């Protein structure tokens, strides 16, 4: 029986760290560099990494001289972020909390929601997350939102996917609900180090198109300023796998 919402069960698992272990230090540095460039705020500025996970982006931003707060619902991932920051010799403020209850107002020069950390909830609650993120910004602050591009997903939907490394085999069965724009998947993980132990996880994420995010951002007083199609700063278009938008207070 499920222990709760899919995002609680998945991100509370130590195994999630193995699933994401392909994101190496070089990838993290490049993506953090893109975040800093896209936000356009100088070192020393305060940045909130919303749903910071294991701190892979937050630590690299701290290395670059930013004052970083990582906020996440998973104590397991926050502990991993704490270990990563200690190993890197940087300071992070790490806060446990639900993004729907983000408590800040006028505190951060930049807020980043990276690697599809948005869209976990129903329509009203996803909108609430944007409202809370916008409220956390200082006047003139910037929000960077990174999600799957719905248009790309519709055109290139893959019902099955698998990946193997020296720790696990990951098998995915994916479904795309066109009526609700939700991508639902079952992840089957085989753990090589534990006698091929098998575990299943669910993933259920609302996917967005550019016009939908524009309307949602404007509803909370944020205006889209720039669009990107990948974390290398490539242009956004229908064939872009990612939908990345930078928005500021209108």
Using one digit for the tens of pLDDT, what is the confidence trace for 45-56?
A: 999 999 999 999
Q: What is the pLDDT of residues 170-223, one digit of tens each?
A: 999 999 999 999 999 999 999 999 999 999 999 999 999 999 999 999 999 999
**β-pair type (67-72, 93-96):** parallel
Q: SS3 helix, strand, coil % of the chain, rounded to 5?
A: 35, 35, 30
Q: pLDDT category, 34, cuts 50, 70, 90?
A: very high
pLDDT at residue 117 is higher than 60: yes
Q: pLDDT category, 23, cuts 50, 70, 90?
A: confident
The pLDDT of residue 83 is 98
Chain length of the chain: 250
Q: What is the pLDDT of residues 65-103, one digit of tens each?
A: 999 999 999 999 999 999 999 999 999 999 999 999 999
pLDDT at residue 3 is higher than 80: no
Q: How far is CA 166 from CA 22, 98, 127, 171, 193, in A?
A: 11, 33, 39, 15, 9
Q: pLDDT category, 1, cuts 50, 70, 90?
A: very low
Question: Residue 135: CB partners within 8 Å, gap ≥ 6?
Answer: 102, 104, 105, 106
CA distance 55 to 80: 7
The pLDDT of residue 250 is 65
For the chain, domain boundaries: 6-148+209-249, 152-205
Question: 33 or 1, which is more confident?
Answer: 33
- DSSP, collapsed to helix, strand or coil, labels residue 182 as strand
The pLDDT of residue 162 is 97
The pLDDT of residue 22 is 82
Q: What crossing angle do the helices spanning 56-63 and 75-88 adopt, rounded to 10°? A: 30
- DSSP, collapsed to helix, strand or coil, labels residue 122 as coil
Are the C-beta atoms of residues 29 and 60 closer than 8 Å to each other? yes
The pLDDT of residue 14 is 95
Q: What is the CATH number that goes with domain 152-205?
A: 2.20.25
Examine domains 6-148+209-249 and 152-205 and report if their fold is the same. no
Cα torsion 94, 98, 102, 103: sign: negative
Which residue pairs from 179-187 have beta carbons closer than 8 angstroms and sit at least 24 positions apart in sequence?
180/206, 181/150, 181/206, 181/207, 181/208, 181/209, 182/206, 182/207, 183/148, 183/153, 183/207, 187/10, 187/19
CA distance 191 to 179: 35
Q: What is the CATH number that goes with domain 6-148+209-249?
A: 3.40.50.150
Work out the percent of the chain whose per-residue pLDDT is above 90: 95
Q: What is the pLDDT of residues 170-185, one digit of tens each?
A: 999 999 999 999 999 9
Q: What is the pLDDT of residues 119-147, one digit of tens each?
A: 999 999 999 999 999 999 999 999 999 99
């Amino acid at each position: 029986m499920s222990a709760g919402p899919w995002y609680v069960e998945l991100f509370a698992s130590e195994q999630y760290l193995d699933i994401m272990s392909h994101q190496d230090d070089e990838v993290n540095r490049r993506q953090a560099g893109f975040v800093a460039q896209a936000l356009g705020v100088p070192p020393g500025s305060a940045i909130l990494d919303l749903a910071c996970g294991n701190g892979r982006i937050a630590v690299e931003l701290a290395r670059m001289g930013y004052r970083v707060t990582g906020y996440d619902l998973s104590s397991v991932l926050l502990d991993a972020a704490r270990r990563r920051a200690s190993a890197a010799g940087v300071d992070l403020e790490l806060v446990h909390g639900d993004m729907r209850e983000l408590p800040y107002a006028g505190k951060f020069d930049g807020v980043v929601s990276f690697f599809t950390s948005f869209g976990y909830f129903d329509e009203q609650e996803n909108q609430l997350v944007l409202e809370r993120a916008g409220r956390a910004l200082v006047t003139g602050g910037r929000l960077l939102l990174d999600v799957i591009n719905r248009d790309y997903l519709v055109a290139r939907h893959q019902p099955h996917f698998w990946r193997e490394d020296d720790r696990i085999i990951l098998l995915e069965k994916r479904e795309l609900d066109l009526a609700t724009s939700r991508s639902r998947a079952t992840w089957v993980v085989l753990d090589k180090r534990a006698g091929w132990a098998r575990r299943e996880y669910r993933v259920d994420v609302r996917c967005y198109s550019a016009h939908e995010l524009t309307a949602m951002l404007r509803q909370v007083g944020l205006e889209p300023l720039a669009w990107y199609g990948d974390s290398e700063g490539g242009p956004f278009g229908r064939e872009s796998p990612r939908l990345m938008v930078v928005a500021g207070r209108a």
